[in-house]
Amino acid sequence: MAVVHADRLAELSPSTYVTNKDSFFVADIGKPKREKDPLVDIPRLPFPQCVAPMEPPIEATVGQLLPGYLALGSLMLCKSVKVGDNIPSDNVCYWSDAGMTYYLQRRIPPSSDKKTEGDPEAGRLLYCSTSAIWNLSENVFCKVKPWVEGMTTEYATIKWVNQNIPSLPTEEVIYHWIDVEWKRTIMISKRVPGQTYAEAWPSLTTPQKLHIADQIAAYLKLLSEWTSDYIETVERSGVVGAWSLRERQPLPFATPRVEPRVPREEYEEFIKRRDSDKGMLSLPPNLGDTLILQHPDCNPANFFVTVPSGSEMPQVTAIIDWEYVGYFPRYLVATMPRYFGSFAVQNQNGLPPTIDNFDWQWMLSNACVRVGFPLELEYRKESVRIDTQHYPGLSIESFVRCDHLPPGYPVTSRRST
């Protein structure tokens, strides 16, 4: 029978749900908006240029030319025949699924036109400005994401994890390539057993959800055993984003910003100057500490679990979306889930979230605290107070989950400025 461990009872008690004890209505601050710092702030393109799609649009990377005949970017074609029928010897890869054999062939010559081919909606499951996924067959998917020179691909990170932390489950990749002309990566992978955690969430009990949180925290602990003195990826290249003091050019939203890897000391100077520019008094946590490898987005849509029967405990079957994995400060592992909205469970029916949908944020955070990661809410709260000072009437709880704190974590009252 599923039970809740004694050390978690305080977390589940309604009395620990902090409501308005640390509310900070931002109209009380009244500080003027700061000037831009050219070494910290990134200039923005005009809105139409900022949101301009890739060429061709990422959602048009795959197109059905004929039934069973797909174009995949500028470099590949995907075809299918009945199982047992011959396939060309020049195939790049192949797989069998639901009575059919599917295979990839190189386009000779590659497509020279950056335009939509065939029907891109056929088999397309979802897309946004920076990602798109298609079903190539019943149990095989095609994932497309933007790429720039020097970027560590999701496939490269998955391959590294499979080789160095084999107990950490990932999706199984069939084939991967970079379409340099179209500036995107294309990865073919097999269906992961189970459901996404977001899909399974409504059917799980609280003990089952806490069990999953403990599993994810254990996997994050395994990643953290790998350390570095650079903000970098597993391939020792730069992480997507801005991590050092330098002037930058604006980029469209769909173009990843990849700069050389950054020594920890340079990153800390960047963070301290950014915080000082904002008017923060607190120093960033973990200054001087070695950086640890992290998957920064274990939100409920980014890992799969088994669907249990009754009180059986579910198991994590795979963690996905590895393209932003890198070495970062240790405090982020337990702290980030409490302030990134993507960690809340999104209703599958499109309805607005209820209070229960935010439980994964504190469940994962507390599980990470239990395995030794520090929780640094006060630093984040101070940042939020300043960032939102021009939006009167908002409270800290709108941005940082302060409920169900782990046992022993200090609950502070609203501080004055």
E strands, 107-255, are 124-128, 131-137, 140-146, 173-179, 184-190, 195-196, 227-228, 230-231
Q: From 355, 305, 320, select the one nearest 198 (Cα to Cα).
A: 305
**Same domain as 239, residue 138:** no
Note whether 199 and 327 are same-domain residues. yes
Q: Cβ(73)–Cβ(318) under 8 Å? A: no
Burial class (CB in 10 A: 0-12, 13-18, 19+), 16: middle
> 167, 190, 213: which is the final residue of a domain?
190
Q: Note down the domain range covering 271.
A: 6-40+194-398
Q: Say if residue 186 is in the same domain as residue 204.
A: no
Is the domain of 141 the same as that of 225? no
In this structure, the answer to whether residues 246 and 323 fall within a common structural domain is yes
Residues 339 and 201 reside in one and the same domain: yes
Residue 414 lies in a domain: no
**Residue 1 within any structural domain of the chain:** no
pLDDT in tens, the chain (417 residues): 344 443 444 455 433 333 344 444 444 444 556 789 999 999 999 999 999 999 999 999 999 999 999 999 999 999 999 999 999 999 999 999 999 999 999 999 999 889 889 999 999 999 999 999 999 999 999 999 999 999 999 999 999 999 999 999 999 999 999 999 999 999 999 999 999 999 999 999 999 999 999 999 999 999 999 999 999 999 999 999 999 999 999 999 999 999 999 999 999 999 999 999 999 999 999 999 999 999 999 999 999 999 888 889 999 999 999 999 999 999 999 999 999 999 999 887 777 777 788 999 999 999 999 999 999 999 999 998 888 877 767 778 888 998 899 988 875 433 333
Statement to judge: residues 186 and 198 lie in one domain: no
Query: Structurally, how many domains does the chain consist of?
Result: 2
Q: Report the predicted TM-score, pTM, of the whole model to 2 decimal places.
A: 0.90
Whether 326 maps to a domain, the answer reads yes
Q: Which CATH number is 276's domain given?
A: 3.90.1200
Q: What is the pLDDT of residue 12?
A: 53
- Shared domain for 184 and 206, answered yes or no, is no
127 and 249 together in one domain = no
144 - beta bridge partners?
132, 186
- The answer to whether residue 51 is domain-embedded is no
One domain, residues 243 and 171 = no
Clarify whether residues 185 and 243 are in a common domain.
no
Write the CB contacts of 374 (distance below 8 Å, at least 6 apart in sequence). Answer: 285, 286, 330, 331, 334, 335
Six-digit token string for 411: 């609950």
> What is the Cα 92 distance to its own chain's centre?
30
What are 307-363's pLDDT values in tens digits? 888 889 999 999 999 999 999 999 999 999 999 999 999 887 777 777 788 999 999
Which H/E stretch holds residue 207?
A: helix 206-224
Task: Identify the helix (H) or strand (E) that includes residue 163.
Answer: helix 154-164
Do 295 and 207 share a structural domain? yes
As a whole number of angstroms, the distance between CA 56 and CA 60 comes to 6
How large is the angle between the packed helices 264-278 and 377-387, nearest 10 degrees? Answer: 50
> Is residue 417 included in any domain, yes or no?
no
Residue 12 within a domain: yes
